Copies of this chain bind each other. A is one copy, B any other.
Amino acid sequence: MTNAFPPNQQFRLAARPSGLPRREDWQFHEEAVAEPGEGGIVVKVLYLSLDPAMRGWMNEGKSYIRPVAIGEVMRAGGLGVVIASRSPRFAVGDYVTGGTGVQRYWSGQADDKTAGFIRIDPRLGNVTAWLNALGMPGMTAWFGLKEVGQAKAGDTVVVSGAAGAVGMTVGQLAKAMGCRVVGIAGGQDKCRFVVEQLGFDACIDYKAGPVHAALKEHCPQGVDVYFDNVGGDILDAVLARINMKARIVICGAISQYNATDKVKGPANYLSLLVNRARMEGMVVFDYAPRYAEAAQQMAQMLMEGKLKSVEYVVDGFETFPESLNLLFEGRNLGKLVLKVADA
């Protein structure tokens, strides 16, 4: 089958990885772009969002979302431009974000529920902000901090994965709310970045020394909210420093995603008892009906310079397997985005 579109390229899941995904776990696939039917559109993907959660989607087993099937195009959020439309919902030239999957072109019904495309305004700063502060990571930060974490002015908020997509925004939002904000990140560059560029009060380099001692130094009043993106030993170290009625938001556990052994549970969890504290999981999708409300406020903050959306852009669709792994190697400073094409 041939048509007016260039050939589509995709990364499909070839095998369920054990540990860090390897090239062989992916199948590079070329096929024709499906002609849009009545009500259909074709989106040319410009950027793909690379997120730690993608590692979880590659595993079998019950989770908050069904696993990607073997042979299926890898699930991913993307940003693109509509290049063909037989739907009144979108016009050619519209910028959209949604679940494009890891491919160069998405073709299907404009109202496809799984893709869930929305039109975006590409003039608001970097268009990639729509995959970051104005996208899923930003929504996660907003609702995680405010709804689950119940942060309030005067609280000490600690966030791990501080230089990553979610952590970066958590810290900035908490600062804007009047909290003391301490990040945890791997390496001096990341720590400098969140303190100097993003205005965190302090940042602990977990590679430089014991996190426990550094928490004591930087959180002299203890920890009221901990936004956890990493799990493992860092979660344990923070548990030892929480205050009465502290709230721990379990957003992710990147330290554990490629573990081939059993996940390490937080040995200090009885600190929850001693401190009448709470540890609660969150999945951003639950807040979908309220995304617009949050995005509007965050767009306002972006325009006023009160929030920065920093993306770490890697170029080249074909580098997808290696680029995804940058997340687990802790190499990205800011939200990891894969550039697929120019508009």
Residues of A whose CB lies within 8 Å of any CB of B are 62-64, 231, 236, 250-253, 256, 262-283, 286
A176 and B283 alpha carbons, distance in the complex (Å):
33
- Interface contact A283-B279, CB-CB below 8 Å: no
CB distance from A57 to the nearest CB of B (A): 12
The answer on a CB contact under 8 Å between B281 and A275 is yes
- A277 with B280, Cβ < 8 A, contacts A265-B267, A265-B269, A268-B263 known: yes
- Identify A282's interface contact among B236, B271, B273, CB under 8 A: B273
A263 in contact with B270 (CB, 8 Å): yes
Jot down 19 A-B pairs with beta carbons below 8 A, ordered by A.
Answer: A64-B273, A64-B275, A250-B270, A250-B273, A263-B267, A265-B268, A266-B266, A270-B281, A272-B280, A273-B281, A273-B283, A274-B281, A275-B281, A276-B281, A276-B282, A276-B286, A278-B279, A278-B280, A278-B281
Complex Cα distance A276/B236, Å?
Answer: 20
The answer to whether B236 and A265 touch across the interface, beta carbons within 8 angstroms, is yes
Distance in angstroms between the alpha carbons of A273 and B256 in the assembled complex: 13
User: Which of B62, B267, B275, B279 contacts A272, CB < 8 Å?
Assistant: B279
Chain B residue numbers with a CB within 8 Å of A265 are 236, 264-269
Q: How distant is the Cα of A200 from the Cα of B33 in the complex, in angstroms?
A: 60
Q: Complex: how many Å from CA A69 to CA B252?
A: 41
From B256, B269, B276, B281, A277 is in contact (CB under 8 Å) with B281
Copies in the complex: 2
Q: Which of A236, A262, A267 has the most CB of B within 10 A?
A: A267
The 3 closest A-B pairs by CB, nearest first: A265-B265, A273-B281, A272-B281
Looking at A231, A252, A267, A269, the one whose CB has the most chain B CB atoms below 10 A away is: A269
- B279 near A269 (CB under 8 angstroms)? yes
Please, which residues of chain B bring their CB within 8 A of the CB of A269?
250, 263, 265-266, 269, 279
- On chain B, the residues within 8 Å of A277 by CB distance are 280-281
The winner among A62, A231, A267, A270 for most chain B CB atoms within 10 A is: A270
A62–B243 CA distance with the chains assembled, in angstroms = 12
Measured between beta carbons, the chain B residues less than 8 angstroms from A286 are: 276
Docked CA distance A268–B253 (Å): 12
A33 CA to B264 CA, complexed, in Å = 52
Query: Please, how many angstroms separate the alpha-carbon atoms of A274 and B282 in the complex?
Result: 7
For A231, list chain B residues within 8 Å (CB).
Answer: 270
CB distance from A147 to the nearest CB of B (A): 11
A271–B279 alpha-carbon span in the complex (Å): 11
A252-B273, A265-B265, A265-B269 known, 7 other contacts, Cβ within 8 Å: A64-B274, A250-B269, A265-B266, A266-B269, A269-B269, A272-B279, A274-B281
**Residues of B contacting A250 in the complex (Cβ-Cβ under 8 angstroms):** 269-270, 272-273
A283 in contact with B276 (CB, 8 Å): yes
Cα(A125)–Cα(B268), bound, Å: 41
Closest partner residue, chain B, to A277 (CB atom): B281
Contacts of A270 in B (CB 8 A): 231, 250, 253, 256, 263, 281
Q: How far is the CA of A252 from the CA of B266 in the complex (A)?
A: 16
Closest to A285 in B: B276
In angstroms, Cα B271 to Cα A281, docked, is 8
User: How many Å lie between the Cα of A269 and that of B267 in the bound state?
Assistant: 11
Q: Which residue of B lies closest to A269 (CB)?
A: B265
